[in-house]
């Protein structure tokens, strides 16, 4: 179930049995010459939607723009300041809390969001405590690509050529979800990973085509389906456990 597909009486009925909501979050950023800019957001949304179907749990609206300043030297990338994303999350969750939602499970598709999401959770929970809320809000975050079975498959399929950005695993999932977006653009083997990136210009200087040690040419739609199903299975086990612990 997705929040935007329901009427308000539907939501009221849902809240009679659950105060939990899953929230997909990704990014709008470059993914190398063969990966589409919406990769992180589209994958997070699709995985959250299928997890919701299998778990009979509600999924909130996608947050499609994240913290991606380090990719801003590539056309098409959008980025929020960390402070902007924190403020957005505060308004998002406080709106839902006013209706009775208390538990929020974020399914994340972008590594650059992690630190800001954790800071936002702290800010939100501190604000609730200061307002004297009787039941604190509970928030957690799982990166779909770190689900145990997904990690195993990434190593099996791609080894060291998985890299850190524009990875064949995420490209494979997009190929499965959106075969119309497959780009037939052969790429050379990945270059070595460089030292810590210091801003957008430095990222492009170190990784001129946008990849970070990754070889997306290894991706196939069949692998994408296996990775997608593995992520959903793993999350479908974790999500109900998280919600039940706060019940």
Place of tokens 């039940």: 244
DSSP structural state of residue 212: B
Cβ contact 106:146 at 8 Å: no
Check residue 67 and give left, alpha or beta (phi > 0: left; psi -120 to 50: alpha). Answer: beta
Q: Which CATH number fits domain 3-238: 3.30.70.1400, 3.40.50.10310, 3.30.70.250, 3.40.50.2300?
A: 3.40.50.10310
Tokens of 57: 């749990």
Q: What is the b/e burial string over 187-207, where b = at least 16 CB atoms within 10 angstroms of the residue's CB?
A: beebeeeeeebeebeebbebb
pLDDT at 133: 59
Would the pTM count as exceeding 0.75?
A: yes
Other residues' Cβ atoms within 10 Å of the Cβ of residue 80: 20
**3-class state of residue 209 by DSSP:** coil
Q: How far apart are CA 204 and CA 211, in angstroms?
A: 9
Tokens of 124: 């939100």
Residue 217's closest CA among 169, 175, 168, 173?
Answer: 168
β-strand 103-108 against 20-25: which pairing, if any? Answer: parallel
pLDDT at 185: 80
Q: How far apart are CA 39 and CA 211, in angstroms?
A: 14
The secondary structure of 33-59, three-state, reads CCECCCHHHHHHHHHHHHHHHHHCCCE
Spans of the chain below 50 pLDDT: none
Contact partners, residue 46, CB within 8 Å, separation at least 6: 173, 177, 228
Q: Which helix (H) or strand (E) holds 153?
A: helix 148-158
Spell out where the chain has E strands. Answer: 20-25, 103-108, 138-143
Q: Which helix (H) or strand (E) holds 13?
A: helix 8-15
Residue-range domain boundaries for the chain: 3-238
142 forms beta bridges with 107
């Amino acid at each position: 179930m997705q929040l935007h597909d329901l009427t308000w009486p539907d939501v009221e009925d849902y809240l009679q049995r659950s105060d939990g909501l899953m929230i997909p979050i990704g990014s709008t950023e470059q993914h190398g010459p063969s990966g589409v800019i919406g990769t992180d957001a589209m994958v997070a949304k699709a995985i959250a939607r299928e997890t919701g179907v299998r778990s009979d749990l509600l999924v909130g609206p996608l947050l499609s723009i994240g913290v991606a300043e380090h990719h801003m030297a590539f056309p098409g990338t959008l980025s929020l300041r960390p402070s902007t994303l924190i403020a957005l999350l505060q308004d998002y969750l406080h709106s839902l809390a006013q209706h009775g939602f208390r538990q929020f499970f974020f399914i994340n598709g972008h590594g650059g969001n992690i630190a800001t999401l954790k800071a936002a959770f702290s800010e939100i929970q501190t604000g609730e405590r200061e307002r004297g809320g009787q039941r604190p809000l509970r928030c957690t975050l799982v990166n779909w690509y770190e689900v145990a079975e997904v990690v195993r498959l990434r190593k099996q399929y791609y080894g060291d050529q998985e890299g850190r950005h524009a990875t064949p695993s995420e490209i494979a999932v997009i190929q499965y979800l959106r075969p119309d977006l497959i780009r037939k653009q052969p790429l050379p083997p990945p270059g070595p990973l460089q030292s810590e990136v210091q801003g957008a210009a430095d990222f492009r200087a170190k990784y001129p085509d946008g990849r970070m040690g990754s070889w997306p040419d290894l991706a196939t739609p069949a692998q994408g389906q296996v990775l997608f199903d593995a992520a959903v299975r793993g999350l479908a086990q974790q999500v109900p456990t998280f919600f039940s612990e706060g019940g």
